[in-house]
Structure 1
Amino acid sequence: MRQILILAVAVLLIGGYVARYADKAVTAGEPAQAATRQAVNEPRQPVTSGRSMMLNADRMGHFKVEARIDGRFVDFMVDTGASTVALRESDAARIGIRPRPVDYVAVVSTANGKVKAAPMKLERIEVGGITVYDVQALVLPDRALDTNLLGVSFLSRLKRYEYAGGRMVLEQ
């Protein structure tokens, strides 16, 4: 079961990176149209209402949020292609999460190759008015991950998450 979970995480992480590079290739071929899209899609502050939140895509089409893990702030990119929440080692250390070398038991395939990751459970993640408890996560070396990923181990615990018209809605 653990090997299947690790394989699923690897496939989803690779998918996220492939999508990111595909977006860059498309916008590189259309400079005038890309400039127009960037001006229209400039990120604005997330709109929160109780237990729901509306996010606007940034100029690259990504959804970024500031979350609190056990009361400490961490920046994330919402990634529906990542099966789990993934934290960069330096950000994890900054909020007091420091896996030991023996904790790096999962092998994950990323755009930068295979790396070892430390599976863990986060007590609480808060995004706007949304709070999810006991969230599965991985800590990865900084070289393997450009940004922290808010993956499906968080998103699947919501009532819904939806993408439409350059916006994402998270609802608990």
Structure 2
Amino acid sequence: MANNDDAPRKTGRVMWLLVWVLALALLTWFFQQKLERDYHPNQQLQLLDSRTIVLEQNRQGHYLINGDINGEPVVFLLDTGATQVAVPRPVAEQLALPVGRTLLLNTAAGQVTGYRTHIKTLSLGPLTLYDLDAIIMPSHNSEVLLGMNALRQFELTQRGSQLTIKYLAP
């Protein structure tokens, strides 16, 4: 008789364990999504018109935007302090960017060795730039720094925590 009473008890314990595991998995997923939205609030692009994008600042005060380099998806970090578009080495390898001449670069982290490269197309939503020089950086970040050689083709207006990017058509 004792064995018959143990079976429902064991089943009940297993069910409670499964409920707790499922609850922890759902909480982990929920908070991971929240952290991702806080870090990159511009997953869905806000378009004012065919030439104007609005970005929200993330919690660190940066502006991130999804885009493409040569038709491949990347995440850009807008950097008005960067002279050129700077692509981290692992991203450059994924994109199969050509490795050109060696350069010594002065960065916030000190002097580093980088390489010249060329980007055929760079897209931010509906806005596409063509034939940009860029630098391959010895960095392990996943974001591409969108430097001034690309940003100078836009009018940037910051109001509060929003940045409006308007393409200045040639």
TM-score (norm 2): 0.68
Q: Which residue is equivalent to 2:89?
A: 89
Tell me by how many angstroms 1:76 deviates.
1.4
| Residue among 102, 107, 127 paired with 1:110 | 107
Deviations 1:105-131 (A, max 9, x none): 211112332111112221110001111
Deviations 1:45-66 (A, max 9, x none): 3302322110000011100011
Q: Which residue is equivalent to 1:9?
A: none
State the alpha-carbon separation in 1 of the partners of residues 108 and 142 from structure 2: 10
Q: Which residue is equivalent to 1:126?
A: 123
Question: With CA pairs under 8 Å and 6+ residues apart, which has the higher RCO, 1 or 2?
Answer: 1
1:154 maps to a residue whose letter is A
- Match of 2:143, SS state, is coil
Deviations 1:5-30 (A, max 9, x none): xxxxxxxxxxxxxxxxxxxxxxxxxx
Moved over 4 A (4+): none
- Could you say what the CA RMSD is over the residues aligned between the two structures, in angstroms? 1.9
Q: Which residue is equivalent to 1:164?
A: 159
2:164 maps to a residue whose letter is V
- Match of 2:90, SS state, is helix
Deviations 1:53-97 (A, max 9, x none): 100000111000111011001111011111110000000111111
2:95 maps to a residue whose letter is I
Say if 2:98 and 2:117, in contact at 8 Å, map to a contact too: no
Say if 1:52 and 1:129, in contact at 8 Å, map to a contact too: no
Q: Which residue is equivalent to 1:47?
A: 46
Tell me by how many angstroms 1:149 deviates.
0.4
The percent of aligned pairs where both chains have the same amino acid is 26
Tell me by how many angstroms 1:146 deviates.
6.8
- Which structure 2 residue ranges, 5 or more long, are not aligned? 1-36
Say if 1:108 and 1:115, in contact at 8 Å, map to a contact too: yes
Max Rg structure:
2
Say if 2:78 and 2:145, in contact at 8 Å, map to a contact too: yes
2:45 maps to a residue whose letter is P
1:73 matched to 2:73? The reply is yes
Say if 1:104 and 1:116, in contact at 8 Å, map to a contact too: no
2:89 maps to a residue whose letter is E
TM-score (norm 1): 0.67
